[in-house]
Structure 1
Amino acid sequence: MWLVGATVIDGTGADPVPRQAILVEDGRITALGGTPPAGAEVVDLAGLVVTPGLIDAHVHLGLSSDVDKLTTTRQLSVAELAADMFANCRQTLESGFTTVRDTGGVDQGIERTVASGKLPGPRIIHCGPILAQTGGHGYLGADWDSAEDWDSRQIPGLVSLSLVSDGPDAVRRNAREAFRRGAMFLKMCVTGGVVSRHDKLSDTQFTHDEVAAAVAEAEARGTYVTVHAHNNAGLRMAVEAGAKCVEHGSAVDEETAELMAGHGVALVPTLAVAHALRADATEAGLPPEIGARVGNVIDGQAAAIRAARAAGVLIGSGSDYVGPKQEHRGLELVLRSEIESPMQALVSATRDNARVLRIDEEVGTIEPGKIADLTVFGADPLADPRVFDDPAQVKAVIQGGRVVKDIR
């Protein structure tokens, strides 16, 4: 394919290049500019804006349905759950997100199904089930459920939200189980969370030895542990135990940011879900009081982004949506544009997210040699960041050199 006429924003932070041609061969970008080879399919993108395929570094495809009906009351069939997940995959791709990192809820079943081309969706990097402690964030069973009841709700090949793990030996065993199910990294919850029933954001969870056990298992497989963390006590413990990425980080201050930078730890803020839950948690199928738990998470994450940026921390971008309404992934870039700039929001959601996911040699920028994942906008998102969050402005999506959406 010879893509011509568009303004290209390459994801590196460099200035946009008007009327930049892109040559795609065998699923990869092979040249920028020049002349098309004989027989190339010419795709006219005049007046449009091309960016790297967007990446969402914090999704929950396994929570694509009403959360309480999925977890507490168990009112949904496997068929309904699967239908919701597959619809979410299609919607995510057509919103311009060609890659996602699933941070708890699916296993290799859905990842393989999408990768095979049997249904449309983004490239999925996943951790399998979250490692959660008894009574900790990530456990969403009813108050009267036993641990055995929670385990029985797993649907192999489709949904597996978390594995209850107490003590280093249990963490090690469940880490190995997550890898058996195809996990590409591990996730642990080291503090309380917003979508929780049995903890507070100020609670710390797991111990240094428990996190270190997971880190050892991840490193043995050439990968890493990321941690859900809303307070700095749990975050610092996890960093010192070897975790390499932090989700949310809503209390990160200058001192904590320096610690993260010194240990090469990335940060993935998640603003969109906090705004959604504060506005109306019931839309996600959660009790209305969950909204009050958002507290200072939004302002705290904004401050964390500024502190982390000043310290030189690698900062990614994640939406973290749960429930049936996940059509506004691009809102994360809008919100980040308000804190930093539209260009920085785009770089975080492309090049820097690829670095967080450790796939930056393959995707994240528009450069020769990279996989041809491209998002085509009908207007300039740098001039009006709201374009990021308007699926109707996503005029075309190219994934692996194949056109998967075209409404030009």
Structure 2
Amino acid sequence: MERVLFTNGRVLDPVAGALSTQEVLVEGERIIATGTGLPREAGTRIIDLQGRTLMPGLIDCHVHVTAQSLDLWSNVTAPSSLSALRSARVMEETLQRGFTTLRDLGGADLGLVRGVEEGLIAGPRLVICGKGLTTTGGHADLRGLTDGRPDMMSDRLGSMGMIVDGVDNIRAACRTMIKEGAKFIKVMANGGVSSPNDPIHSIQYSRDEILAMVEEAENAGLYVSAHVYTDRAIRRCVELGVHSLEHCNLIEPETAALAAAQGCIAVPTLVAYDALAIEGEALGLGPAEFAKIEVVRQGGLKSLQVMRDAGLLMAFGSDLLGDLRKYHGMEFELLAKVLTPAEIIRSATVIGAKLCGLDAETGRIEAGLCADLIVVDGNPLEDILCLAANGAKMPVIMARGRFAKNQLS
């Protein structure tokens, strides 16, 4: 196994939000030592950082790697083999932005997970939920108002959701997702921006149905993640035992405090709405879609302040589809309007690792952890925009001990 020694740089500790002068030694997939004066055995590759910052690889906790296009039906109807090839390209591009772990919120399957693990895809580690569960007419039900065809496309890789109604059917769907490699269950518990039939304020699924999801997930040692915008929907999910709260643009202080007390983690995705606002006209979005976008955009920055003040942990997320992925780095800029660089870095490392169930594997630079590392030109604790350039200021990217990029050899 190759040994790599990173030297002459500053190591970023995301927990403390501080830099220290250390060396980091990697062997195979693991970090085997940190400190000063580490041994330089024959054959060790030495990477001279020349004062640059070495930090943990980034984690995006809300992606859809199979959503190659903003035309969601075209994703669904694409052959699954084509969708897999497109997804591999999306993952490879995301790794080049410094993201070494992705949490997929609907679409990706075990084949993509194993493709990375077996080295067939040069992409980030992938944590999946299978398909997001939605009600008839809910978020992820892409059928038009008068389209009464049954849901026959949820088995396609490009489909992000599955229509499931009723407690018994939900239990069966959850068990199937878990059997097929899901690490959490995703529920569409609120209306959405990109779906045709559900206004944002709509509440989706009965309490009994969500409780069934929570029980099935907990039985497997997992949790439920919910697509939610409104305070009412968020509070309802928290009360029912949902752990991960996606988006949360319209959350209020009392609900945020309750979620924090319950140990929940929120995943704001502000860039998704700014990107849609920028590109929406060209994409053919109508007045109804723009109205929904503006509602969540206006609440987004406020929600960051509300959640931080309540002590509610936040993980980094983007939720960008299709060509909008070019705005990935903008999420750092938006978060920086409210949060400090140290808070943003924690959201994209240690908190993200915790939400992915990988806090014993990644998110920090410590002996024994996986070698998910990036080298950054500059100090992200002073200038978070070092991370916002979509990898342009990252001369080295290492995922699980393998160089995805190395311009310092």
TM-score scaled by length of structure 1: 0.93
2:267/2:317 contact within 8 Å kept? yes
1:71/1:140 contact within 8 Å kept? no
Residue identity opposite 2:26 in structure 1: V
Give the match for residue 364 of structure 1: 363
2:19 to 2, 16, 19: 16
Matches within 5 A, 1:194-213: 194-213=193-212
Give the match for residue 57 of structure 2: 53
Give the match for residue 3 of structure 1: 6
Q: Using the alignment, how far apart are the partners of 2:315 and 2:337 within structure 1?
A: 16
In structure 2, the CA distance between the partners of 1:101 and 1:355, relative to structure 1 (3 Å rule), is: same
| Greater share of strand | 2
1:280/1:288 contact within 8 Å kept? no
Q: CA deviation at 1:78?
A: 4.3
1:67/1:322 contact within 8 Å kept? no
Q: Using the alignment, how far apart are the partners of 1:45 and 1:320 within structure 2?
A: 33
Number of residue pairs the alignment of both structures matches: 401
2:230/2:249 contact within 8 Å kept? yes
Q: CA deviation at 1:344?
A: 1.1
Q: CA deviation at 1:288?
A: 4.7
Structure 2, gaps ≥5 residues long: none
Q: CA deviation at 1:335?
A: 1.5
In structure 2, the CA distance between the partners of 1:147 and 1:44, relative to structure 1 (3 Å rule), is: farther
Q: Using the alignment, how far apart are the partners of 2:366 and 2:271 within structure 1?
A: 29
Q: Using the alignment, how far apart are the partners of 2:310 and 2:149 within structure 1?
A: 41
Q: Using the alignment, how far apart are the partners of 2:112 and 2:72 within structure 1?
A: 22
SS of 1:191 mapped into structure 2: coil
Q: Using the alignment, how far apart are the partners of 1:71 and 1:134 within structure 2?
A: 20
SS of 1:9 mapped into structure 2: strand
Matches within 5 A, 1:99-110: 99-110=101-112
Q: Using the alignment, how far apart are the partners of 1:244 and 1:234 within structure 2?
A: 13
Q: Using the alignment, how far apart are the partners of 1:14 and 1:379 within structure 2?
A: 15
Q: Which moved more, 1:390-399 or 1:376-385?
A: 376-385
1:342/1:382 contact within 8 Å kept? yes
Give the match for residue 407 of structure 1: 407
TM-score scaled by length of structure 2: 0.92
2:80/2:158 contact within 8 Å kept? no
SS of 2:95 mapped into structure 1: helix
Matches within 5 A, 1:225-244: 225-244=224-243
Give the match for residue 146 of structure 1: 148
SS of 1:332 mapped into structure 2: helix
Q: CA deviation at 1:23?
A: 1.2
Give the match for residue 287 of structure 1: 285
Q: Using the alignment, how far apart are the partners of 2:70 and 2:329 within structure 1?
A: 21
Question: Quick one: percent identity of the two aligned structures?
Answer: 33
Q: Using the alignment, how far apart are the partners of 2:297 and 2:353 within structure 1?
A: 24
Q: CA deviation at 1:287?
A: 3.1
2:275/2:324 contact within 8 Å kept? no
2:191/2:200 contact within 8 Å kept? yes
1:194/1:293 contact within 8 Å kept? yes
Give the match for residue 345 of structure 1: 344
In structure 2, the CA distance between the partners of 1:65 and 1:80, relative to structure 1 (3 Å rule), is: farther
User: Any idea what the Cα deviations from partners look like across 1:33-90, whole Å, max 9, x if unmatched?
Assistant: 2223222321111132211100000000111224245258x4x454543332111110
Q: Using the alignment, how far apart are the partners of 1:167 and 1:88 within structure 2?
A: 35
1:334/1:388 contact within 8 Å kept? no
Q: CA deviation at 1:257?
A: 0.9
